Amino acid sequence: MSNDPKAETSAETFFALDIRKGTVVRAEINAGANKPAYRLWVDFGDPIGVRQSSAQLTRRYSAEGLVGTPVLGVLNFPARRIAGFRSEVLILGTFDPNDPGDVILVRPDADCADGYPLG
């Protein structure tokens, strides 16, 4: 992934994304994925509930350690099938500059309710 700045965009484009806080409630290896990844189940609270995601977080996080972890996810991208698993939400992360395959979760630094939108 390039580190070059992206073209300017509008605030409307950003605010069209439904980015919310959730909590990982279950995590397991996505054995069929081409690149090492976890199958995640993330609770986004009422009325959204639990959504699934396939996320390449295996270098930095254990499946057991992810349970209970707060995350930010994009909820309004179309679902995708990844190795037979329906991925319904994109979990946000950044890359370690020394190891581009190492994804670091982007998450709130204080507690807030599941389902609370970024804004």
Check which CATH number belongs to the domain holding 80 and give it: 2.40.50.140
> Does residue 118 lie within any of the structural domains?
no
Q: Count CB neighbours of 19 within 10 A.
A: 18
> Does residue 115 lie within any of the structural domains?
no
pTM: 0.93
Structural domain of residue 39, as residue ranges? 16-105
CA 49 distance to own-chain centroid:
15
> Does residue 9 lie within any of the structural domains?
no
Mean pLDDT of the chain: 95
pLDDT digits (tens, 9 = 90+) for 11-36: 999 999 999 999 999 999 999 999 99
Number of domains in the chain: 1
The pLDDT, as a whole number, for residue 31 is 93
> Does residue 1 lie within any of the structural domains?
no
Q: What is the mean pLDDT of residues 62-88?
A: 98
Checking if the pLDDT of 89 tops 70, the result is yes
Tokens, residue 77: 């991208």
CA–CA dist 63, 81 (Å, integer): 20
pLDDT band for 100, please (50, 70, 90 cuts).
confident
pLDDT band for 1, please (50, 70, 90 cuts).
low
The pLDDT, as a whole number, for residue 101 is 86
